[in-house]
Structure 1
Amino acid sequence: MSRTMPNRRSANRALSVLALLGVTAGAVTACSGQGSASQHSASPETGQAGEAKLHMIDNGGHRLAFHVTQGHGSTVVLDSGGGEDSSYWKDLVPRLHAATGATVITYDRAGLGKSDVVPGPWKVESAVSDLKSGLRQLGVTKNVTLVSHSQAGAIATYFARGNPTMLSGAVLVDANLPPFFTDEEIARLVALSRPQVDAAKKDPDRPRNRQLISTAQSFVSTNKAYHKLTWPDAVPATVVVSEKTPFDGSPEDAQRWRDAAASFVQDGPHRKLVTAKGTSHDVPKDRPDLILKEIENMVATQH
C-alpha cells in the first residue's frame, strides 16, 4: 500500500494540472463540426422561445461559435473550463433560462467546438477579445452575469478589469484566481505537467492535445502576470470552491487552492465564498442545483 499511494497521488495531481493548463481532466474536446461552421450565418437568428441559436462571430479573421438562448432583461454568459466547449453547459442552459428568463449565452473558445483554430501559444488577452467582440456583435453591452469555470477564471478577471460596466456580477466556479499562482506554485504545476505535455506533442493535431500544448507554451508568463491582477471592486463576485479542489491527490496544493479563494474574497467588497460539499473540480456536473441557485441569486440582486 505504501508503495502505490504516492503514484496514485501523483496521477491525481497530474490530472488536476491538466485542468489548470487548459484541458479539464477526462474531457474529450469535440472535433466534429469544425468544417461545418461556415454553413451558419453570422447575422442574428430568431427561433422559438427557449431554443438556442448558433451565431458565427468574426474577430480578427477567425470565427467563433456563440449559442444564444434568447430571453429578456439581463444576460448570463457561461464560460467553460480548459478543454471544454459550450456543450459542457447543455443540461444547465434550459434550467437557467426557465428560472431567470434571462438570455443565456454559451460559446466555444478558439480551437474548441465549432470555433476556428488559432495557431500559437494561448493568450488570455485574445480570449478576452474574442468574448468581448462576440457579445458586442450580438448587441450585449450591459447587465451581464459572467459564469466562469476553472481556466475561464483568468478570462473573467481580465474581462472584468477591462469592461466593468458590462458586468453586473460574476460566479466563479472552482476558477483560476490570481492569488493561487505564486512563482512556487507555477513551478510545481509546470514540473507536474511536463510528462503530459510531452505525450501530447506526439499527436499535436488532436484538439485536446493542441489545447494543452498551446496553453503550456505560455503558462509561465501568463500566470506570472495574472498573479499581479486584482478583481475590480465594482463587480460583485461569488466564488464557488469544490470540496476536493482540482488537487484531490495533494493536500498541500488543495489547501493553497482554498486559501487563494478565501484571500480573493477577503480582498474586496461584494464577494461571497461558497464551498460546494461533496464535489470534484466538476462542480457544475456534480452540483448543478447549487450552481443554478448561485447564478439566480446573482441575477436577482442586480435588478
Structure 2
Amino acid sequence: MKNLFLISILIFSTFAARSQSKVIDTLVDVGHHKIHFKIVKGTGKPILFDSGGGNNGAVWNSILDQISTITNAPLITYDRAGFGTSTIDTLQTDDSKHGIMSSIEDLEIGLKKLGYDKEIVLISHSYGGYLSALYASRHPKLVKGIVLIDVNHNYFEDGVIEKELAKQEKLIPEWKKNNKGTYYMSATILETVRIMSKIEIPQHIPVVDFVNGIPFLKAPEEIERWKECHKKYVENHPNVTGITANDCGHGIWVGNPPLVITTIAKMYANTSKQKAEIQERALQYAVTACNEEKAEDLAFYHSEDDLNTWGYALLRKEETQKAAAVFKLNLTLNPASANAYDSYGEALLKTNQKEEAIKMYRKSVELNPENKNGKEVLERLAKDNPMQ
C-alpha cells in the first residue's frame, strides 16, 4: 500500500511539473486597456475561473495543476481591469463605465481573441459569481456547466448593499488613490446589484452551488441571510446541486481542495467525450488526496509532543502501566529522541522496573549530554543502588 501511495504521489508530481511548462501568460488588448490572462494549455473545451471581489486570477493557482492533470482541459484565469497586471481604460473618466458590464465585455473580447469563445465550463467565487451568471445569460448555448463557490446570489439586495457601502465610505479615498480595481467595483456595486437582480443562469445549465460551513460574516442575521440565499437558490432551480462545505470558510477550495477539485472534475467529465477517463483520474486523485490527509492526521496524533503529553496525562491520573505503554510507543516512533527515552525511563521507575529505567536514562543522556534531569536521576539511582 505504501509503495502504491508513493507511486501516486510521483505520478501527480510529474504531471504538475509538465503543467508548469505549458502555461501561457499574456496581456490581451481589449480596447484602450489590456487584460491579463493565464492559460494552462490542454485539449477540449476550456474551464474559466472567475475570482472574487478584490482578488486576481492568482487565487486559483493552488488547484490548477491537479485540475489540469485530471481533465487535461485548457484552464483560463484572468485579472479584471485594475487587478493584478490588468490595466484600466483611462479614457473612460465616468466611474459608471467601469462596472460589471465593462468587465463582461473585456472578458468576451479577450476570450474571442484567444480563441476560447466557444463551449466553456465556468468556475467562480464570491463576486465572480455575477460574471458567471452574466456570461451564461449572454451565451446560454455555450456554457456547459458552472461551479459556484460561495457566491453572492441575491444577498446584497433589499437595502443590504447600501449598508455595506456606508461601512466602506472611509476606505473609498484610499482605494481611489492606490487600488483602482477595488475603487471602481465599489463605485459601481449599486448598479451591479441592480443589474444582477434581473439576471439568472439559464435553468438548462447544470450548476453546483457551494456554501461555506464556517461563516465569514459576523452578525447572526448576516450569516442566516447568506445561508438562506443559497438554500433558496438550490430549491428554486431543479438543475442545481447544493453542497455545504463543512469546516471551510469563504475560500472553500483552500479549506478543502479535494472537494472542489473533484467537483470540478465531475462537472467537466459530464460535458466530455472522455468522461470515463476523467472520472478514473479524478478517483485516483481523490484516493491519493485522502491518503495524504490521513498521513497528516497520523503524523499529528502520533507526533512526539502529542504522545508525550498523553503519557504524562496518564501519569497524573496514576495510570502508570498505560502511561508506560504510550511512552514506549513514542520511543518506537521516535528512536532518536532523548526526551522520549527520558519520559519512558520515568514511567519505568514508577512501575518498579529500575534496571530498564536506568538503560533508558543512560540512552537519553547519550543522545543529549545536556539532559540535566537524566543525569540527576542516574546519580540518585547510583546512590540508592551502589552496585548498579
TM tier, smaller: 0.7 to 0.9
Query: Does 2:244 align with 1:275?
Result: yes
Of 231, 247, 251, the residue aligned with 2:201 is 231
Is 1:206 equivalent to 2:206 in the alignment? Answer: no
Q: Any residues of structure 2 matched to 1:150-229 within 5 Å, and which? A: 150-177=126-153, 179-194=154-169, 198-202=170-174, 204-207=176-179, 210-229=180-199
Q: How many angstroms apart in 1 are the aligned matches of 2:89 and 2:50? A: 18
- 2:66 corresponds to 1:95: yes
Contact 2:19 2:65 in 1 (8 A): no
Return the alpha-carbon distance in structure 1 between the equivalents of residues 84 and 219 of structure 2: 32
Give 1 or 2 for the bigger CA radius of gyration.
2
Residue 168 of structure 2 aligns with an amino acid whose one-letter code is: S
| Distance in 1, Cα, partners of 2:124 & 2:187 | 22
Higher helix share: 2
1:1-303 matches, within 5 Å, as 51-118=22-89, 120-121=95-96, 122-177=98-153, 179-194=154-169, 198-202=170-174, 204-207=176-179, 210-247=180-217, 249-303=218-272
Counterpart contact for 2:125–2:151, Cα < 8 Å: yes
Paired with 2:208 and 2:103, the residues of 1 have a C-alpha distance of 22
Query: Contact 1:246 / 1:280 at 8 angstroms: preserved in 2?
Result: yes
Please give the alpha-carbon distance, in whole angstroms, between the structure 2 residues aligned to 1:228 and 1:49. Answer: 39
CA contact (8 A) 1:181 1:226 kept: no
Relative to 1, partners in 2 of residues 1:176 and 1:118: Cα closer, same or farther, differing over 3 Å?
A: farther
SS of residue in 2 equivalent to 1:232? coil
Identity %: 27
CA contact 2:136–2:201 (8 Å) conserved in 1 = yes
CA drift of 1:49 comes to 5.5
Distance 1:213 1:49, change over 3 A: closer
> 1:221 Cα shift?
2.4
Query: How far apart are residue 258 of structure 1 and its match?
Result: 1.1
CA shift for structure 1 position 180:
1.9
TM-score normalized by the length of structure 2: 0.61
- Tell me the number of residue pairs that the alignment of Structure 1 and Structure 2 aligns: 249
CA contact (8 A) 2:81 2:181 kept: no
Contact 2:35-2:80 within 8 A present in 1 as well: yes
Q: Distance in 2 between matches of 1:165 and 1:244?
A: 35
- Aligned partners of 2:195 and 2:129: how far apart in 1? 14
Gaps of 5+ in 2: 1-17, 273-388
Deviation at 1:259, TM superposition (A): 1.0
Structure 1 CA distance for aligned equivalents of residues 174 and 200 of structure 2? 38
Q: Secondary structure at the match of 2:65?
A: helix
Render the CA deviation track for 1:86-114: whole Å, top value 9, x for unaligned. Answer: 21111111111001111111111111112
Offset, 1:189: 2.0
Q: Which amino acid aligns with 1:96?
A: I
Structure 2 counterpart of 1:94, one-letter code: D
| Residues 175 and 183, structure 2, Cα contact 8 Å, conserved in 1 | no
Superposed CA offset, 1:141-196 (max 9, x none): 3331110011111111111100112211110101121x3232232233223333xx
Alignment partners' CA distance in 2, 1:126 and 1:174: 23
Q: Which has the higher contact order (CA 8 A, sep 6+)?
A: 1
CA distance in 2, matches of 1:221, 1:141: 26
Return 5+ residue gaps in structure 1 as ranges.
1-47
Residue aligned with 1:180, SS: coil
CA contact (8 A) 2:175 2:182 kept: no
